[in-house]
């Protein structure tokens, strides 16, 4: 089978490596992939947002199955466009991807179907939003409606910061049209859990839970990033919580999407907060999370491609999705300065006794074959262990076997999860 994976980060590398385990796969193309992914797939210089070129390529190469991984092409309708030329793909249609593409849509969906989430108001008018901010509880959370490279959420600790956030989104348009509408919502507290799930629109099968570490610096300080590391499973996500989420959140969401004629097929990501009043949805993503995928897929004990095909065909069953009892940890190695200004172009070397899994997020391959850094997040070093402690220790041991100039990584990935485990025991 010829497979095409749209995207080019660490998440896509993890997907590609897992798909490669399927014996029927003869070739995998990555669009655009990156210099590290090139070790596992044929990289093609087509951007993930260039739907026309993606479809043409898939037609020409007679691709048997496509996986559309990032949010942008999904929201732009890549899966629909592939379907039009008869190429089956894993991922939601444009109509279903709106669950991530519009925060106004997802909040209204949750309100309409009674799915627990933060209280909120929607504003299209800047002055009305500013008026509301005069009396609403502080801190408050301001969210741009549309996609904003993961930066469209501002937590305002003061009334002035909230006003500035609204002005930056609605007047200065820092996120372009994404900020034409904003959601202003209640600030919630509690541990966060990421739950990725496979769903074919009727059946929903959650994957192993995980915990992201979004801030740039140790102790959850510094700027928000695309994610500096992950662990799985997430110790806060007990069986009791999982059962409650299935009943109150996962199934109602799948049903709601069906009811709205937006049947969701693909990976639906539930970003949850475990509040004192129970689990609530912080955000939905219409795709695999990054870097959650880098810890979730190594723990998947069954065949990813089989699951993806079953999902796309509407034939998903629970028994084909099996996870191991182990734990995994991913430490993201970034370029110093990320998520702001950073330099690239430094050679990456991996010691020969490296004994983990390397998922490359941002790298380029030079003509002489050397792989050099090519992004903010450069790679994810992943290790598995019988316990979370073992996975974390191993991952950091392996980080020492990977070197590039100006490398920066957090030293405390998994610490909070380990502390939560101790508390529970």
Choose from ligand AMP, ligand GLY, none: what does 292 bind? Cβ within 5-8 Å by kind.
ligand GLY
C-alpha distances (whole Å) from 343 to each of 93, 100, 334 are: 37, 31, 11
285 is a contact residue toward ligand GLY (CB under 6 A): yes
**Closest separation between CB of residue 293 and ligand GLY, Å?**
8
Q: Which of these ranges, 163-171, 177-185, 251-259, 283-291, lies near ligand GLY under the rule CB under 6 A?
A: 283-291
User: Residues 153, 350, 372, 420: which binds ligand AMP (CB under 6 A)?
Assistant: 153
What distance in Å separates the CA atoms of residue 88 and residue 209, rounded to the nearest whole number? 28
**Largest alpha-carbon pair distance within the chain?**
62
3-state helix, strand, coil in the chain (%, to 5): 35, 30, 40
- Indicate the residue among 155 and 205 with the shorter CB distance to ligand AMP: 155
For 277-303, the DSSP string reads TEEEEEEEESS--TTTHHHHGGGB-S-
Residue 188 contact among ligand AMP, ligand GLY, none, beta carbon within 5 to 8 Å by kind: ligand AMP
> Number of residues in contact with ligand AMP, rule: CB under 6 A?
15
**Residue 285 binds which entry of ligand GLY, ligand AMP, none, with Cβ cut-offs from 5 to 8 Å by kind?**
ligand GLY
Give φ, ψ of 396 to 5 degrees.
Answer: -65, -35
Q: Considering only residues 259 through 278, tell me which ones interact with ligand AMP, judged by CB under 6 A.
A: 271
Query: Quick count: other Cβ atoms within 10 Å of Cβ 141?
Result: 19
Nearer to ligand AMP, 27 or 177 (CB): 177
Q: Is 188 in the site for ligand AMP (CB under 6 A)?
A: yes
Query: Residues 6 or more apart from 2 whose CB is under 8 A from it?
Result: 26, 27, 28, 29, 61, 62, 63, 64, 65
Tokens at 226, concatenated: 């695309």
**Count of residues touching ligand GLY (by CB under 6 A):** 7
- Supply the minimum distance, in Å, between the C-beta of residue 113 and ligand GLY: 23
197 counts as binding ligand GLY under rule CB under 6 A: no
* Residue 200 found at the interface with ligand GLY (CB under 6 A): no
Establish if 283 lies at the interface with ligand AMP (CB under 6 A): yes
- Asked whether the beta carbons of 14 and 294 are under 8 A apart, the reply is yes
By CB under 6 A, residue 323 contacts ligand AMP: no
Binding segment for ligand AMP (CB under 6 A), chosen from 17-25, 149-157, 357-365, 400-408, is 149-157
Residue 113 binds which entry of ligand AMP, ligand GLY, none, with Cβ cut-offs from 5 to 8 Å by kind?
none
Q: Phi and psi at residue 282, in whole multiples of 5°?
A: -90, -45
Residue 28: phi, psi to the nearest 5? -125, 130
141 lines the binding site for ligand AMP (CB under 6 A): yes
Contacting ligand AMP (CB under 6 A), which of 98, 142, 203, 282?
Answer: 282
User: And the tokens for 343?
Assistant: 């330099």
Q: Give the separation between CA 100 and CA 129, rounded to whole angstroms.
A: 22
* Sequence-ordered alpha helix ranges (H) in 114-190: 126-133, 159-170
Quick one: what does residue 227 bind among ligand AMP, ligand GLY, none, with the CB cut-off 5 to 8 Å set by partner type?
A: ligand GLY
What span, in angstroms and rounded, lies between the C-alpha atoms of 122 and 128?
A: 10
φ and ψ at 215, to 5 degrees? -80, 155
We find the least distance from the C-beta atom of residue 151 to ligand GLY, in angstroms, to be 11
The answer to whether 9 contacts ligand GLY (rule: CB under 6 A) is: no
SS3 247: helix
| Contact mark string toward ligand GLY, 217..256, x via CB under 6 A | ----------x-----------------------------
CB-based contacts of 293, cutoff 8 Å, min separation 6: 10, 11, 14, 15, 196
Closer residue to ligand AMP in complex, CB, 77/190:
190
**Position with the least CB separation from ligand GLY:** 289
Query: Is residue 72 at the binding interface for ligand GLY, with CB under 6 A as the rule?
Result: no
290 binds, among ligand AMP, ligand GLY, none (CB under 5 to 8 A by kind): ligand GLY
Q: How far apart are CA 90 and CA 308, in angstroms?
A: 6
Q: Is 150 an interacting residue with respect to ligand AMP (CB under 6 A)?
A: yes
Residues of the shown chain interacting with ligand GLY in the complex, contacts defined by CB under 6 A: 150, 212, 227, 285, 289-290, 292
Residues binding ligand AMP (CB under 6 A): 118, 141, 150, 153, 155, 185-188, 192, 214, 224, 271, 282-283
């Amino acid at each position: 089978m010829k497979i095409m994976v749209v995207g080019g980060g660490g998440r896509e590398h993890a997907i590609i490596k897992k798909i490669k385990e399927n014996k029927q796969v003869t070739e995998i193309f990555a669009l655009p992939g990156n210099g590290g992914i090139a070790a596992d797939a044929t990289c093609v210089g087509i951007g993930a947002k260039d739907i026309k070129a993606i479809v043409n390529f898939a037609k020409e190469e007679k691709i048997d199955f496509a996986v559309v991984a990032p949010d942008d092409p999904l929201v732009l309708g890549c899966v629909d466009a592939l379907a039009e030329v008869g190429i089956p793909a894993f991922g939601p249609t444009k109509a279903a991807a709106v669950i991530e593409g519009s925060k106004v849509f997802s909040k209204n969906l949750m309100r309409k179907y009674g799915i627990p989430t933060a209280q909120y108001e929607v504003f299209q008018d800047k002055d009305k939003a500013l008026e509301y901010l005069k009396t609403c509880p502080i801190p408050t959370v301001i969210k741009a409606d549309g996609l904003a490279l993961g930066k469209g959420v501002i937590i305002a600790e003061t009334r002035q910061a909230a006003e500035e956030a609204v002005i930056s989104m609605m007047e200065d348009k820092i996120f372009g049209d994404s900020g034409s509408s904003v959601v202003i919502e209640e600030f919630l507290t509690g541990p966060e859990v990421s739950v990725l799930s496979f769903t074919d629109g009727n059946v929903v099968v959650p994957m192993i839970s995980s915990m992201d570490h979004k801030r740039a610096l140790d102790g959850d300080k510094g700027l928000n990033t695309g994610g500096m590391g992950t662990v799985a499973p997430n110790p806060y996500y007990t069986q009791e919580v999982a059962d409650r989420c299935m009943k109150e959140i996962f199934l109602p969401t799948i049903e709601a999407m069906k009811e709205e004629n937006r049947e969701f097929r693909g990976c639906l990501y539930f970003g949850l907060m475990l509040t004192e009043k129970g689990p609530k949805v912080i955000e939905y993503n219409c795709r695999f999370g990054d870097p959650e995928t880098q810890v979730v897929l190594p723990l998947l004990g069954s065949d990813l491609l089989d699951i993806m095909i079953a999902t796309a065909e509407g034939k998903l069953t629970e028994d084909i999705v099996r996870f191991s009892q182990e734990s995994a940890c991913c430490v993201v190695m970034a370029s110093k300065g990320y998520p702001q200004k950073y330099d690239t172009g430094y050679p990456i070397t991996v010691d020969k006794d490296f004994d983990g899994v390397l998922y490359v997020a941002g790298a380029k391959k030079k003509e002489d074959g050397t792989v050099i850094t090519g992004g903010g997040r450069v790679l994810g070093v992943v290790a598995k262990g019988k316990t979370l402690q073992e996975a974390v220790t191993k991952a950091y041991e392996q980080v020492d076997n990977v070197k590039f100039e100006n490398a920066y990584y957090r030293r405390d990935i998994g610490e909070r999860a380990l502390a939560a485990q101790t508390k529970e025991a």
